[in-house]
Structure 1
Amino acid sequence: MSETSSTQRCVIVIPARYASTRLPGKPLADILGKPMIQHVYERAQQVQNVDVVVVATDDARVMAAVEAFGGQAVMTSAEHSSGTDRLVEVMQRFPAAIYINLQGDEPLVRAADVQRLVDGMRQQPEIRVGTLCHPVGAREAQNPNCVKVVLDAGGRALYFSRAPIPFPRDGERARYLKHVGVYGYRAEVLAQYSALDKSMPEQAEVLEQLRLMHAGISIYAFEVEPTGPGVDTPACLEQVRRLLSGETAEEARLDKVKLVITDVDGVLTDGSIYYDATGECLKRFHVRDGLGIRMLEEAGIRVAVLSGRDSATLRKRIADLGISASRLGVKDKAEACRALMAECGALPHETVCTGDDSIDLPAFRTCGLSFAVADAPDYVKRQASGVLTLPGGHGAFRELSDRILEAKGLVHIATTADGFERSMTTVAQ
């Protein structure tokens, strides 16, 4: 942090209310030995050319916790209805030109993203209010807790909503942007905020930024890479703990998948093996899995088959589905996965594999993401990134296919007639 001219002076304010309805005492929730508010504060301190970082709270326990780790905090009124109102009170104590409102329940916030907001507002004085956003898939866009924003050609917000906007009426692919609740305000905007009337859209959506837009104040959104989740509920808190401890978040990475490696017995089949009178091995495949494979391939996502067995039946099924990448009769599945990644031009973090038993664990460890089918042993499920809800041979692969298409914003391929017809040049089940 450094001293700057009065016209460029910047203060980061972290509102931290103790009495959260869904997670009481949220700012003090322990995450890897530190209160959550400390994680946010330390990330704020990494932002360059900021003059002050201060926590604004209404509770002495939060104040004491911040002071205990060496941070700066101020007590504010308990009557404030929003974090922005709390920011207005802090403004009287710390004069500045720009105020950044950084939520106290965002321990995964990236300093680089906040830096982009600070620098952008300094470089573009016409921006009176700035914020952040990033792309999300269609499935996440359906969640009303995920606030979406639509921008004009200049990056200004047209509207914020809990509904999935824009709405793809004719099944066309929509690009959804999730609003990240970090704001930058010019001092003069904050000074008039409390006098602004609550608009009907703000009250309907329960989104305070709509108050500014209703008053004719533009909000500029800087697009960043997808961020980690905030903490709203106990489940969110556990997810953040896992992420900060180094575990992988499935939904944050499915949109980056370029290659899917699937086992056969127990995943594409139910694991049953039959022999005809000639001794030929017979297997039962599920047609929906086959269509899931084709939809991924037509969307530009390679699918490769990996099996410890080899048979004429299996080779015929692979040929019917048009799969060009496979390794059959392999003993070392980890090495086979590495070879398939090289062949398909995918890195480990761009690769997901599916399996159902111990023989697949080396592949799980080699690929960036792994999924166990619903009827896999518990010890296999525990070592997978995620667990599917369907058993092998009963549509489990199709379930994974749909998840990937959703994460990439391509779910229209599976869910609409127009999307399917436009995307599928060849159809096989």
Structure 2
Amino acid sequence: MSSNSHVALVIPARYGSSRLPGKPLADLLGKPMVQWVYEKAQRVPSAQTVVVATDDERIADAVRAFGGNVVITSPNHPSGTDRLVEVMGQVEADIYINLQGDEPLIRPEDVEQLAQGMLFDPSVDVGTLYHAIEDEEAQNPNVVKVVLGQAGNALYFSRSPIPFPREGDQHPGFKKHVGVYAYRKRILEQYAHLPASALEQTEQLEQLRLLSAGVSIRAFQVEPTGPGVDTPACLEKVRAILEGKPYAPISPLANVKLLITDVDGVLTDGGIYYDATGECLKRFHVRDGLGMRLLEECGIRVAVLSGRDSATLRKRVADLGIGLHAFGVKDKYAACRALMKEAGVTPEQTVCIGDDSIDLPAFAACGLSYAVADAPSYVKQHATGILSLAGGQGAVRELADAILSAHGMEDVFNSAKGFHSVSGGAAQ
């Protein structure tokens, strides 16, 4: 055990955040969020140094105001680890632990466990944390999973649910990676010169650069952690936890006034059939149709968007009385914006549903996006949410019900009285 090693805790804190600008300065019970993280870091027994690394003077001023140490870094770093490499040139230590500035609920004892793991075994190059999760959470591509070897070293990190449960009774369970890292100084010195690997670029996970270069990452197990802060909704949840109050989240679907749905692979199962005359035949799900009509009857517009055009498709849309549509579309981004303009709504009031790469421009155009359950993982990772049903199997109805519930209108689909109030325009 190396008891003389100097441990530095570094808290990267960027002002720019696409989903929550100024996030480190967000107020939590009268203190900026970065102060909560800093004070938790100060309670880690093995840490001799705690410092905030930021590229913004507003954050630096806030840190100085509560008596914290701060280092100004370049705004051009592509990752938190790159920022840590710059800090290394200004803060001397043997082990650097990278805490996230948006994790006000971090437990000091977890960070201490990580520090002790590095101090006890000098052969460990990089350390990190993980905890067990349920199968449902493992399906979320925004949750990074890790698989471990017998020594506790990471074999791989992925947004996909790994390991694949081919035999359910033989599965060891899914493990969620907690994004806290400890590095030895020599590894950070190497990191600055390592090229980005194909795996890193594919998964968009910087730790895969280290694994690709042959650097071992030891993972230490902790109890399930509290939520971080990525969005205004996350901020409200963390604020409620700190206050000891129950949290009732407001669904982002509550603001939706327009649903844009793809056809092949969403309203249908993706199969394309031709009759003897060459006419294209498609199989639609009746529950999707009723869900679309219920939305329309409740004042939420529905638009059908397709890269194809056929008499079959036009007949189905006409039968459902859907007046907003765009067929034979080549540019789905522009088409979505045109449909929003026609409906008189903003991107923030629009949700779309898709199943494949061709729908990613629509995801980018709309404020919210959902992928069907059988969409590829590389499509799911760009979606706001993932549905439990596959395309052509009621996925659109699942989203329609969620929208109506978010608007407080669930009675139209779960009670006879509620359905009767809108049934005059109902169709399947």
The residue number in structure 1 matching 2:166 is 169
The residue number in structure 2 matching 1:226 is 224
2: CA distance, partners of 1:55 / 1:49? 17
What whole-Å deviation, never above 9, does each CA across 1:357-396 have from its counterpart, x for those lacking one?
xxxxxxxxxxxxxxxxx9xxxxxx9xxxxx9xx979xxxx
The residue number in structure 1 matching 2:182 is 184
The CA RMSD over aligned residues, in Å, is: 2.8
Tell me whether 1:147 sits opposite 2:156 in the alignment: no
- Correspondent of 2:52 among 52, 55, 60: 55
Gaps of 5+ in 2: 250-400, 402-407, 416-428
Do the aligned residues in 2 keep the contact of 1:131 with 1:184 (CA within 8 Å)? yes
2: CA distance, partners of 1:155 / 1:248? 37
Superposed displacement of residue 250, structure 1: 10
Superposed displacement of residue 7, structure 1: 4.9
Q: Name the count of aligned residue pairs.
A: 258
Deviates more, 1:16-25 or 1:182-191: 16-25
The residue number in structure 1 matching 2:212 is 214
The residue number in structure 1 matching 2:154 is 157
2: CA distance, partners of 1:53 / 1:141? 33
Superposed displacement of residue 169, structure 1: 2.2
The residue number in structure 1 matching 2:194 is 196
2: CA distance, partners of 1:128 / 1:250? 42
Do the aligned residues in 2 keep the contact of 1:58 with 1:78 (CA within 8 Å)? yes
Do the aligned residues in 2 keep the contact of 1:133 with 1:177 (CA within 8 Å)? yes
1: CA distance, partners of 2:127 / 2:46? 17
Do the aligned residues in 2 keep the contact of 1:40 with 1:107 (CA within 8 Å)? yes
2: CA distance, partners of 1:179 / 1:60? 31
Q: Which amino acid in 2 is paired with 1:56?
A: A
- Correspondent of 1:28 among 25, 34, 38: 25
TM-score by structure 2 length? Answer: 0.57
What whole-Å deviation, never above 9, does each CA across 1:56-96 have from its counterpart, x for those lacking one?
00000000011111111110001111111111111111111
Do the aligned residues in 1 keep the contact of 2:46 with 2:116 (CA within 8 Å)? no
Do the aligned residues in 2 keep the contact of 1:40 with 1:106 (CA within 8 Å)? yes
2: CA distance, partners of 1:34 / 1:118? 27
1: CA distance, partners of 2:55 / 2:28? 21
- SS in structure 1 opposite 2:20? coil
Superposed displacement of residue 249, structure 1: 7.1
2: CA distance, partners of 1:67 / 1:391? 55
Do the aligned residues in 2 keep the contact of 1:8 with 1:122 (CA within 8 Å)? yes
1: CA distance, partners of 2:182 / 2:224? 19
2: CA distance, partners of 1:74 / 1:120? 27
- Correspondent of 1:17 among 5, 10, 14: 14
Superposed displacement of residue 142, structure 1: 1.0
- Correspondent of 2:124 among 127, 134, 139: 127
The residue number in structure 1 matching 2:86 is 89
Q: Which amino acid in 2 is paired with 1:244?
A: L
Do the aligned residues in 2 keep the contact of 1:101 with 1:184 (CA within 8 Å)? yes
The residue number in structure 2 matching 1:75 is 72
The aligned runs of 1:92-103 (5 Å cut-off) are: 92-103=89-100
Percent identity (aligned): 61
The residue number in structure 2 matching 1:237 is 235
Do the aligned residues in 1 keep the contact of 2:152 with 2:219 (CA within 8 Å)? yes
Q: Which amino acid in 2 is paired with 1:247?
A: K
1: CA distance, partners of 2:246 / 2:65? 31
- Correspondent of 2:104 among 85, 103, 107: 107
Superposed displacement of residue 49, structure 1: 2.7
The residue number in structure 2 matching 1:350 is none
After superposing on structure 2, the runs of 4+ consecutive aligned residues of structure 1 that deviate more than 2 Å are 169-174, 247-251
Do the aligned residues in 2 keep the contact of 1:23 with 1:234 (CA within 8 Å)? yes
Do the aligned residues in 1 keep the contact of 2:3 with 2:119 (CA within 8 Å)? no
- SS in structure 1 opposite 2:15? coil
- SS in structure 2 opposite 1:105? coil
2: CA distance, partners of 1:224 / 1:248? 24
2: CA distance, partners of 1:249 / 1:154? 39
2: CA distance, partners of 1:190 / 1:197? 13
Do the aligned residues in 1 keep the contact of 2:129 with 2:180 (CA within 8 Å)? yes
Superposed displacement of residue 226, structure 1: 0.3
Superposed displacement of residue 35, structure 1: 0.7
Superposed displacement of residue 147, structure 1: 0.5
- SS in structure 2 opposite 1:93? coil
What whole-Å deviation, never above 9, does each CA across 1:377-418 have from its counterpart, x for those lacking one?
xxxx9xxxxx9xx979xxxxxxxxxxxxxxxxxxxxxxxxxx
75 and 202 in structure 1: CA distance in 2 versus 1, 3 angstrom threshold? same
- SS in structure 2 opposite 1:104? coil
What whole-Å deviation, never above 9, does each CA across 1:316-349 have from its counterpart, x for those lacking one?
xxxxxxxxxxxxxxxxxxxxxxxxxxxxxxxxxx
- Correspondent of 1:37 among 34, 38, 41: 34
Do the aligned residues in 2 keep the contact of 1:11 with 1:96 (CA within 8 Å)? yes
2: CA distance, partners of 1:221 / 1:238? 30
Superposed displacement of residue 184, structure 1: 0.4
2: CA distance, partners of 1:128 / 1:99? 11
Superposed displacement of residue 32, structure 1: 1.3
